[in-house]
Amino acid sequence: MTNSIQELQDAKVIFVIGSDTTEAHPVISYFMKRAVKRGATLIVNDPRKIDLTKWAALHVQHKVGTDIAYINGLINEIFKNGWAREQYLKDCTENPDAIREAVKDYPVEKASEICGVPVETMKKVAKILGEAESASVCYTLGITEHICGTDNVKTLANLQMVLGNIGKYAAGLNPLRGQNNVQGACDMGALPNVFHNYQPVDNPAASEKMAKAWGVPSLPTKPGYKMPTMLRKALDGGTKILYCVGDNTVQTEPNMAHTIKELQALEFFVVCDIFPNLTTPYADVILPDTSWGEEDGTFTNSERRVQRTRRAVNPPGEARSHWWVMQELAKRLGKDLGFTSGNAVWEDMRKTATSYAGITWDRIENIGLQWPCPTLEHPGTAFLHRDGKFTRGKGLFSVTKWIPQAEPPDEEYPIVLSTGRRLWHYHSATQTRNSEGFDNIFGEELLEISPVDALKMDVKTGDLVKATSRRGSIILKAWVTERSAPGVAWCSFHFAESCGNVLTIDRFDTVTETAEYKACAIKIEKIGDGEPLGDGILRQARP
């Protein structure tokens, strides 16, 4: 996030797109709803009628995967009405004319045809954004999990730069990060192209610096493979060893049947985790890791805040911290990594990471600090690119063009399936389903179907249906609900026994290799009448 979470409660306009905030980031949704109570205008842009729409001034129900057309249409309208912040464009951005020209291809009328949003609604949204003193854009995986995910993000960045909203309090471009430490995993260099602190591996200076710090003669300078490529290469022998930590690959990657084939093709597969899951059966070696609550360390949250996590209970059996495993394996391969405690690992990292250099465990004993925090006296950074002074110098517009989803619906597979998370469970649900009470509230996956489609298929809530894509099928109960737009169905990937990722498509964004989890084509068949569902389940669909 360019800005901080609590700033949201002071926002004038909040533009939420591709984020089911009340379910996936409930605490952030509290701040959004507080802002509404204080007079902010909330615009929820989502193909689904998510819960947050109840607090929204406007719910824009654009079609799945049409974000670029929709946003470019808004930018076009903003320029047309003179709402663009010309001074900001001149002072703070590099190529404003490029975007001014590019969005001419997306007059609202044309954009409306693609995204299905009425022209009048688009004009209204553009006016709210254009006339607002500032606006905060929040997005999540509904933006990134498309074959055009990178361009989706760039288009939102364009919108915020045209409106002069980057580098301002209670504004900015805010991806709400999905996992407790996905920000930290990136910051720590668990990425194929950069060391920790985003130092490029193919930059000779960075590579030399790290080789010296780590006491090795040299380091590889060719960027590595991204996760989907690693897996794909298992089939042609390019990947022979996969060392997998804290990732239930089978359940969370798209196209489950194919993922299993990839894992089976490996020569040596190590899984380090806290629970047996759908992935562990394929492992040659299973190593038990300590869980949350069992070790000392740090997480970095969505707003770049580094915070302590602590040991509260003793780990079961012989579970160990993973840095210890790395130390022991390295020793056997002839290298001492120098890891003697969690804090020793932190200090080893900190001395070569400028953004993190000022953050010690002592300093964050009570309250976390937000990077960049380059010195021990630095108070941390609440929001980035202050006053439009971008980290890279001037803001750069990237021209984006709308492309259709990888697998559009057709006669055989007429329904678009989108997937995501529910409030009551988390990812492959190993944690929530091993905690008491959660399966009582929501114990099996439901396929959300629009009443329009349900009528055609003669399906009612509670009926058993079979959802089939070109990659597989799952059997689950139907939930007929207006949360789904006509032609769109939705389910989560929480339940091993009826997981959305059996159906999802393994087609990826070309830059990030993020899969198009949010759009694939399926067909739905009714296979049996069912009992109506209990109150608990339907509680989410608030009256």
Partner 1 sequence: MKVFINGKECEAKQGQTVLQAARDNGVYIPSLCYHPKTGPAGKCRVCVVEVEGMRGLQTSCTVPVKENMKITTNSETVRKAQRLVVDLLLSSGKHDCLACEQNGACELQDAAYMLGIEHPTFSLADTKTDIDDSAEFVYREHAKCIQCGRCIAGCNTTVVNEVLDFGMRGHDTKVICDIDLPMGKSSCVQCGECSQLCPTGSIIDKKTRGKGRHWQFKTVNTTCAYCGVGCQLTLHVDQAANKIVQVTGREVVPNDGMLCVKGRYAYEFPSSENRLKYPMIKKNGEHVRVSWEEALDYTASRIKEIVEKNGPDVFSAFGSGRITNENNYAIQKFTRAVVGTNNVDHCART
Structure tokens at 267: 């020569």
Nearer to partner 1, 169 or 292 (CB): 292
- Does residue 139 interact with partner 1 by CB under 8 A? no
- Tell the smallest beta-carbon distance from residue 23 to partner 1 (Å): 9
| Inter-residue long-range contacts of 9-12, CB under 8 Å, 24+ positions, other chains counted | 9/34, 9/35, 9/38, 10/35, 10/38, 10/169, 10/170, 11/35, 11/40, 11/134, 11/135, 11/136, 11/170, 11/171, 12/40, 12/41, 12/132, 12/133, 12/134, 12/135, 12/170
Binding of residue 223 to partner 1 (CB under 8 A): yes
Residue 423 lies near partner 1 (rule: CB under 8 A) = yes
As measured in angstroms, the least distance from the Cβ of 69 to partner 1 is 24
Q: Pick out residues in 51-90 that bind partner 1 (CB under 8 A).
A: 55
Token code pair at residue 488: 């769109």
Q: Which of 61, 121, 134, 180 binds partner 1 (CB under 8 A)?
A: 180
182/190 Cα distance (integer angstroms): 10
Asked if 174 is part of the footprint of partner 1 (rule: CB under 8 A), the reply reads no
Alpha helices in 380-529 (DSSP H): 438-441, 451-457
* Binds partner 1 (CB under 8 A): choice among 18, 167, 342, 358: 342
Extended beta strands in 432-536, E state = 446-449, 464-469, 472-480, 488-492, 520-528
> How far is the C-alpha of 180 from the C-alpha of 301, rounded, in Å?
6
**Residues touching partner 1, count (CB under 8 A):** 154
271-290 residues near partner 1, rule: CB under 8 A = 273-276, 280, 283-289
Q: Is 39 in the site for partner 1 (CB under 8 A)?
A: no
Closer to partner 1 by CB, 87 or 193: give it: 193
How crowded is residue 435: how many other Cβ atoms within 10 Å of its Cβ? 12
Q: Which residue has the tokens 């509230």?
A: 441
Other Cβ atoms within 10 Å of 359 Cβ, number: 26
With contact defined as beta carbons under 8 Å apart, do 239 and 230 qualify? Answer: yes
If binding is defined by CB under 8 A, does position 456 make contact with partner 1?
A: no
Under rule CB under 8 A, residue 320 binds partner 1? yes
Closest approach, Cβ 478 to partner 1, in A, equals: 22
When asked if residue 265 is in the footprint of partner 1 (CB under 8 A), the reply is no
Applying CB under 8 A, the span of 29-37, 77-85, 158-166, 451-459 interacting with partner 1 comes to 29-37
Nearer to partner 1, 352 or 400 (CB): 352
Report the C-alpha gap between 442 and 537 in whole angstroms. 6
> What would the x/- binding string for partner 1 be over residues 473 to 512, using CB under 8 A?
---------------------------------------x
CA dihedral 459→463→469→472, nearest 10 degrees, is -160
Q: Does 520 bind partner 1 (CB under 8 A)?
A: no
Indicate which single residue of 236, 377, 531, 535 sits in contact with partner 1 (rule: CB under 8 A).
535
